[in-house]
Copies of this chain bind each other. A is one copy, B any other.
């Protein structure tokens, strides 16, 4: 049997340089995005070249293309990480569905960006990115799932709303949350009312219609 196992090994053994392991591949990808993130946040996406990233890592520029399809994909991966972190913080407050939960989601959402202003800039303020490059990123179901959590919570308190109305409420809610986050991040010197207070209005706005409809 041992000899059979050996024979099996020999039958399946492949000549040539073996592929790197999935683990090694992910380690390298993480190294690339880590270095790129630092440089992008420091100098801006457009001002950081592939050659510069490679030099910082200590490999050839074309090596990066073994791990990412294009320069923009390194940025998209960073965006994915940022949204994964956001989703991770949204989930724990999404298991309840009432106004309070929506308020808490709003809090978590805004607080996330306030605690990660550099990530906010990386995602929403990157220079040198075209609209179609962003769209490819947004086509990823994982990215949209975070917004679906909020939609589900809004749906729970307005069960009679059709899909279009829910989409409008979600879009408004997110617009308001982004406005709050954006103002605090980009014009931090201005004495804004606290996010806690402002988010209450956002929740009220998407709740009052429900109440009006219910009347």
Contacts of A128 in B (CB 8 A): 130
Contacts of A132 in B (CB 8 A): 127
Contacts of A129 in B (CB 8 A): 130-131
Contacts of A127 in B (CB 8 A): 130, 132
Q: What range describes how many residues of A lie at the interface?
A: under 10
Q: Once the chains are docked, how many angstroms separate the CA of A80 from the CA of B127?
A: 23
Q: Once the chains are docked, how many angstroms separate the CA of A131 from the CA of B129?
A: 8
List A residues 92-132 near B (Cβ within 8 Å).
Answer: 127-132
In this complex, which of A127, A129, A131 has the most chain B Cβ atoms within 10 angstroms of its Cβ? A131
Of chain B, the residue at the smallest CB distance from A134 is: B131
Please give the distance in Å from A123's CB to the nearest CB on chain B.
13
Please give the distance in Å from A140's CB to the nearest CB on chain B.
20
Q: Once the chains are docked, how many angstroms separate the CA of A130 from the CA of B46?
A: 11
Q: Once the chains are docked, how many angstroms separate the CA of A172 from the CA of B180?
A: 23
Contacts of A131 in B (CB 8 A): 129, 131
For this complex, 7 residue pairs linking A to B, each with C-beta atoms less than 8 Å apart, are A127-B130, A127-B132, A128-B130, A129-B130, A129-B131, A130-B130, A131-B131
